[in-house]
Amino acid sequence: MPTLLLRYRTGEEIKEGDRVLYHGNPATVGLVACDPNDPRSEAAWHMREQGGGVMILDPMESGRTFIPADFLAEYEDLEFVSRG
C-alpha cells in the first residue's frame, strides 16, 4: 500500500494539528493515517482497516470522528481554517 497524500476539498494538504471547521464547529485534525509504515499503532490500524484517512477531534459535536480517505474529496463538512 503506497503513502497517501490527503487533501481538503480546497487542495491544501491535511496535516495533524490543523485547525478546521467540522459541521461548522471548531475542531482539530488529531491523526492523519496516510503512511502504511507509520510506527504509531493507531495510524497503522486505520491504514489496514480503512485504507487511511483523518481523525477529527470535535469536542462540541462528536468527540472523535474518522473520515476515510475515499470520502475526503466529497466531504463538505470539513473545512480548513489554519495550520496548528
Q: What digits encode the pLDDT tens for the residues 40-69? A: 899 989 888 888 999 999 988 779 999 999
The position carrying cell 490527503 is 6
Q: Which domain holds residue 34?
A: 19-82
| Cα–Cα distance list, 51 to 28, 67, 82 (Å) | 21, 11, 26
Separation CA 81–CA 46 (nearest Å): 24
Sorting pLDDT into bands at 50, 70 and 90, what band is 23? very high
Strand 19-22 versus strand 63-68 pairing type: unpaired
| Percentage of the residues of the chain whose pLDDT score is greater than 90 | 64
The answer to whether residue 27 is domain-embedded is: yes
The answer to whether residue 12 is domain-embedded is: no
Q: What is the pLDDT at residue 79?
A: 95
The answer to whether residue 32 is domain-embedded is: yes
pTM for this predicted structure: 0.89
Q: What is the pLDDT at residue 75?
A: 87
As for how many domains the chain has, the answer is 1
